[in-house]
Amino acid sequence: MPGRKSSNNDRRVDDRHEGEGLFMVFENNLVEVVDISVGGLKFKRPPFDLAPGRRFSFELRSAYEDPNPLAKGIAVVRASKEDWVAIEFVRPTFSLMKVVGRHIGRLLVGRSHLFRH
């Protein structure tokens, strides 16, 4: 499938897509998204530890559209490595999924077929 990265130890069920142009804001930190799926994302690790199991609030922003102040959510850290952190969305909101869907749509077909721009 397009955008899919697989490995023998990949526990994600949802297709991964490049995160270029997406940023996550949490606890006064702005981090660059590495890859994203409908279930969560991976971002470049900030200069502090985020242990697996930690929950936090965040906002997702796209360089390709105006900020959506409702694209907020709760995340739980699933994995933390030297250069990246993987999070799972906890009960994601429609507004958050709109930003995710538009981003994935831009990658796959040039624009999202799910949501109007």
Torsion, CA 60, CA 71, CA 117, CA 23, rounded to 10: -10
Q: Is the pLDDT of residue 17 over 80?
A: no
Q: What is the pLDDT of residue 114?
A: 52
Burial-class residue 58 by CB neighbours within 10 Å (0-12, 13-18, 19+): buried
pTM, to two decimals: 0.78
Q: Is the pLDDT of residue 115 over 70?
A: no
Q: What is the pLDDT of residue 117?
A: 47
Termini Cα distance of the chain: 25
Q: Is the pLDDT of residue 19 over 60?
A: yes
Cα–Cα distance measured from residue 29 to residue 31, given in angstroms and rounded to the nearest whole number = 6
Per residue in 57-88, pLDDT tens? 999 999 888 877 789 999 999 999 999 999 99
Q: What is the pLDDT of residue 11?
A: 54
